[in-house]
């Protein structure tokens, strides 16, 4: 029996009464949100949840709109799982979990209509703003989706639109205003370990989980996106309980995001 297996069994057998770090089942680790991390980005943020750390940056370019939405700007979310962040990560093409993280964060932003994409249109059918959100995992100790989602929306809230020179190039030293943000989506992820709901799982807890459920909410507490992972099924009650946790915890995190962004603008 390996040490890893023994540790996983210990976590599973004791999770209902005692998490390794002493938190309650629904309790988040300490969360730190910082802005203005990347000088050359239009907006950026660093988010730490316990020992998990991510950096999100927003870059803007002028591009051509999609044919089926000629009057709308474009938003794209990408993530990079640096090999320095975890021994589980390797350099090379995007991993499946990296692609999945990008999709979940992107879905929360897109389905909540966070950005008024019509206001990103410069010339209908020919020129629009393209907003790229790049997320880098600096250190992995679980709950990457929540950290990435918090970082992405914070970076978007602090992003400034560069001015356009007469020759069509961008002047990234001068800005015409902020992005047209309408919502603040916040993802909250919980998992099932031995039939117990655990929120903000560490890396070890995630490896022991039977199922993982991410619920993204907006300011009025409505749900805008959901994502389930893991091999085990979840009951309707378990999903509703996790959704209720998401509504409660997202309020606290959304308030922290607003406070951080307010300080950034001051």
Answer yes or no: is 43 within a domain: yes
Higher pLDDT, 168 or 222: 222
pLDDT(3) > 80:
no
> In which band, very low, low, confident or very high, does the pLDDT at 35 lie, cut at 50, 70 and 90?
very high
Answer yes or no: is 8 within a domain: no
Residues 150 and 30: their CA atoms lie apart, in Å, by: 14
Tokens describing residue 38: 């990347």
Answer yes or no: is 83 within a domain: yes
Answer yes or no: is 6 within a domain: no
Burial 123-155 (b: 16+ CB within 10 A, else e): eeeeebbbbbbbbbbebbbbbbbbbbbbbbbbb
Residues 191 and 209 sit within 8 Å (Cβ to Cβ): yes
CA 186 to chain centre: 8
* Separate counts of helices (H) and strands (E) for the chain: 5, 12
Percent over 90 (pLDDT), the chain: 77
Query: What's the number of CA atoms in the CB half-sphere (13 Å) around residue 26?
Result: 10
Q: What is the mean pLDDT of residues 38-48?
A: 95
Answer yes or no: is 9 within a domain: no
Specify the number of domains making up the chain: 1
**173-221 residue pLDDT tens:** 888 999 999 999 999 999 999 999 999 999 999 999 999 999 999 999 9
Higher pLDDT, 189 or 40: 189
Range of the domain at 242: 15-265
Residues 258 and 184: their CA atoms lie apart, in Å, by: 9
Percent over 70 (pLDDT), the chain: 95
CATH number at residue 213: 3.30.230.70
Residues 49 and 29 sit within 8 Å (Cβ to Cβ): yes
Tokens describing residue 151: 């970082």
Answer yes or no: is 253 within a domain: yes
Q: What is the mean pLDDT of the chain?
A: 92
Residues 190 and 198 sit within 8 Å (Cβ to Cβ): yes
- Picking from 1-5, 71-75, 169-173, which range would have the lowest pLDDT averaged per residue? 1-5
**117-167 residue pLDDT tens:** 999 999 999 999 999 999 999 999 999 999 999 999 999 999 999 999 988
Answer yes or no: is 195 within a domain: yes
- Supply the pTM of this predicted model: 0.93
Task: Give the per-residue pLDDT at 1.
Answer: 47
Answer yes or no: is 135 within a domain: yes
**85-119 residue pLDDT tens:** 777 776 655 567 888 999 999 999 999 999 999 99
**242-253 residue pLDDT tens:** 999 999 999 999
Residue 30: how many other CB atoms lie within 10 Å: 7
pLDDT(81) > 80:
yes
Assign 214 to helix, strand or coil. Answer: strand
CA 200 to chain centre: 13
């Amino acid at each position: 029996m390996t040490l890893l297996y023994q540790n996983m069994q210990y976590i599973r057998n004791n999770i209902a009464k005692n998490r390794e770090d002493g938190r309650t089942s629904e309790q988040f680790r300490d969360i730190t949100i910082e802005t203005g991390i990347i000088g050359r980005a239009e907006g950026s943020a660093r988010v730490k949840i316990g020992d998990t750390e991510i950096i999100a940056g927003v870059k803007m370019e002028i591009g051509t709109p999609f044919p089926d939405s000629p009057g709308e700007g474009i938003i794209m979310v990408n993530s990079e799982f640096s090999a320095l962040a975890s021994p589980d990560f390797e350099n090379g093409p995007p991993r499946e979990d990296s692609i999945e993280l990008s999709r979940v964060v992107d879905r929360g932003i897109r389905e909540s209509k966070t950005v008024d994409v019509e206001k990103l249109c410069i010339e209908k059918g020919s020129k629009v703003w393209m907003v790229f959100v790049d997320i880098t995992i600096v250190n992995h100790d679980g709950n990457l989706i929540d950290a990435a989602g918090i970082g992405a929306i914070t970076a978007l809230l602090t992003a400034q639109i560069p001015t356009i020179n007469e020759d069509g190039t961008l002047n990234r030293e001068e800005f015409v205003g902020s992005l047209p943000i309408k919502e603040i989506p916040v993802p909250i992820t919980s998992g099932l370990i031995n039939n117990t709901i655990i929120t903000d799982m560490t890396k070890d807890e995630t490896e022991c989980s039977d199922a993982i459920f991410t619920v993204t909410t907006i300011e009025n507490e409505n749900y805008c996106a959901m994502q389930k992972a893991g091999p085990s099924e979840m009951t309707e009650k378990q999903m509703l309980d996790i959704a209720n946790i998401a509504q409660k915890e997202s309020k606290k995190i959304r308030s922290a995001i607003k406070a951080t962004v307010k300080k950034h603008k001051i």
